[in-house]
Amino acid sequence: MRARSCLRSFFHGIVLMATCAAPAHAVSPIVIWVTNSNNFGAGSYTAALAQLQPIATPQEIRFSYPSTQTIYLNGPQSVIVGSDVRIDGADMFGNVIIDGAGWTQATVPSGSATAKLTIANLTLRHGQQIGTGGCVKVANAGTATILDHVQFIECKAFVDATTPARGGAVYAAGALTVADSSFERNEVLTLGASAETNNANGGALSSEGAHNVTIVRSVFTDNRVYLFNSLPSFCSSGAGGAVHLYLPGASSVGTITDSTFTGNTTACRRPGTGYDLIGVGDGGAASLNSDSGTFQIERNFFENNTGLRGGALAFINASFTQANIINNTLRANRGMASTGGVSFVNCCYAKLINNTFSDNRSGSDQFPSQYGGAFAINVGTLDLVNNLVDNAGAGSPSCSYYFGQVTSSHNLYSDAACPLPTADPSSLVTGPMSWLGAPKNLGGSVLVMPPAYGSPAIDSGEDARCALYDARGVVRPLDGDGDGAAHCDVGALESSYVDRIFRNGFELN
């Protein structure tokens, strides 16, 4: 009957026809309001979690109470239920602080029917969990987690002899997106006085499984894995001082862009001693692993991170993984066993393109290692193009080569060039790079280290494999020396002649 009615309406005119095809509308979410900062009772965050229903209709927990008040939890919270749940402090302009006081603020259990969990515009601090995820624990592989404008402060996950630990602040067993968020002083720790295990990874964040992870415009500061044990040879830590990702499968992609990592580390202490060992787990900033997936690491800033192999980044036993490392700045990172910058061990198909390495070190100051201050190569294949490696005075060679097919072009080194199996006449040793500037904000999301105008880095890169954009998102190549021809710069920053005019106060000399 309805079809015939619509047909008759067509012949009577378009206006009547429109009444037969009403537009579809998105289902309005069920909103649960948190109206006070109490730790129980009506209007509390605890009560709001308990009011969530196992339904398909989207549900939102929102907040409206005096912004000077902090929510302190005093017991375990109800797990997240419902297909699509959002916890959002936007109504209070991000001034919502939920202090776990030793309890986890948001949990999605394994086997849950929750397809999506979004947490946005709030601060989570002091959550704790034995095992995974001190502040946010998503144990269900079918749940996509979105963290948007969230601050994580001093969250903790604990490891013991029988329970591995992952993610001091966040653990996600399914797809994960982190945007415009910060992680500060989160930890993975040993439960009790000691435990003879180092199965503990990701001081701030960990995600494992065949899925995608995206981290964008986020900041990781002073996160760590810190364990008490007497494992050989003195004590041992886990991997990923800030981030640990294990993403198996050819379709899995891990993306880290426009983010900053400073002061993250892996550490341990042997019971009965009064001092710590720093840099005793791989990947001071991030440990990234897969069997055949892809990691896209672009436009990030890494400084003062310390690990065992890879002070900044470690790709360990990553077999057929594709690792694309482009437009990053890595400064003053340290690998105690090898490689302050990027460590490739039994890995992968890699590209190092238009990165800036400065003062990265391998080993201690007293006992420097010869295994590559900036990077160590043990790969299937590597494209090494347009990188700036300032390692003079670091006590470690710029890089070390073990194995792999390497294509090298137009790199600049402050000391001896990388000892590759095939000579690369296009790459040069410049001597000390006094013309390389200190880190500063020149636009974009991260700090960069600008080379002086007229320096060897300007317009001296290979154009064919030049990154499309620089660390700020500025298009490449540009004319940096004023000769009228645009050529790629070496390093993470692309300079232009216009930049020179403006930064010198319109003085060309």
Phi, psi of 8 (to 5 degrees): -65, -35
- Classified as helix, coil or strand, 480 is coil
For the record, the structure tokens of 255 come out as 């993306």
What whole-number distance in Å separates Cα of residue 172 and Cα of residue 416? 43
For the record, the structure tokens of 226 come out as 């810190």
Spatial CB neighbours of 139, under 8 Å, sequence gap ≥ 6? 107, 108, 109, 110, 112, 132, 133, 171, 173
Q: What is the pLDDT of residue 319?
A: 85
For the chain, which residues make up each domain, given as ranges? 127-500
For the record, the structure tokens of 248 come out as 């198996």
Spatial CB neighbours of 138, under 8 Å, sequence gap ≥ 6? 107, 108, 117, 145, 170, 171, 172, 173, 174, 176
Report which of 263, 260, 411 is spatially closest to residue 334, judged by C-alpha positions.
263
The overall pTM is greater than 0.85: yes
For the record, the structure tokens of 210 come out as 């065949």
CA 303 to chain centre: 13
Q: What is the pLDDT of residue 1?
A: 39
8-state DSSP, 387: -
Q: What is the pLDDT of residue 25?
A: 61
Category of 287 on φ-ψ map: left (φ > 0), alpha (ψ -120 to 50) or beta: beta
Q: What is the pLDDT of residue 24?
A: 55
Which residues in 355-369 are b (16+ Cβ under 10 Å) and which e?
A: bbbbbbbbbeeeeeb
For the record, the structure tokens of 448 come out as 């960069």
**What does the CA dihedral 183, 184, 187, 193 come to, rounded to 10 degrees?**
-160
**E strands within 100-242?**
106-108, 116-125, 128-130, 136-138, 144-153, 156-159, 165-166, 170-172, 176-179, 182-184, 187-190, 200-201, 205-208, 213-216, 219-221, 224-228
Tell me: cis bond preceding 233? Omega within 30 of 0 counts. Answer: yes
Beta pairing partners, 451: 436
For the record, the structure tokens of 403 come out as 């194995």
For the record, the structure tokens of 265 come out as 């580390």
Taking the CA atoms of 295, 299, 305 and 311 in sequence, report the sign of the dihedral they define: positive
Q: What is the pLDDT of residue 418?
A: 83
Category of 400 on φ-ψ map: left (φ > 0), alpha (ψ -120 to 50) or beta: beta
What one-character-per-residue DSSP string does 17-40 give? HHTTSPPP-PPPPEEEEE-S--SS
For the record, the structure tokens of 243 come out as 């981030």
Tell me: cis bond preceding 348? Omega within 30 of 0 counts. Answer: yes
Give the DSSP H/E element, type plus range, for residue 399: strand 399-409
Q: What is the pLDDT of residue 225?
A: 98
Tell me: cis bond preceding 439? Omega within 30 of 0 counts. Answer: no
Beta carbons of 314 and 344 less than 8 angstroms apart: no
Beta carbons of 357 and 387 less than 8 angstroms apart: yes
For domain 127-500, which architecture applies? 3 Solenoid (2.160)
For the record, the structure tokens of 469 come out as 């954009």
8-state DSSP, 503: H
Report which of 52, 45, 41, 43 is spatially closest to residue 79, judged by C-alpha positions.
52
Q: pLDDT 10s digit of each residue in the chain, 509 long?
A: 344 344 334 334 433 334 444 455 678 999 999 999 999 999 999 999 999 999 999 999 999 999 899 999 999 999 999 999 999 999 999 999 999 999 999 999 999 999 999 999 999 999 999 999 999 999 999 999 999 999 999 999 999 999 999 999 999 999 999 999 999 999 999 999 999 999 999 999 999 999 999 999 999 999 999 999 999 989 999 999 999 999 999 999 999 999 999 999 999 999 999 999 999 999 999 999 999 999 999 999 999 999 999 999 999 988 899 999 999 999 999 999 999 999 998 899 999 999 999 999 999 988 888 888 899 888 889 999 999 999 876 677 888 888 889 999 999 999 887 888 888 999 999 999 999 999 999 999 999 999 999 999 999 999 999 999 999 999 999 999 999 999 999 999 999 865 655 455 444 44
For the record, the structure tokens of 407 come out as 């294509």
Q: What is the pLDDT of residue 421?
A: 84
Using a 10 angstrom Cβ sphere, with 0-12 exposed, 13-18 middle and 19 or more buried, the burial of residue 54 is exposed
Using a 10 angstrom Cβ sphere, with 0-12 exposed, 13-18 middle and 19 or more buried, the burial of residue 67 is middle
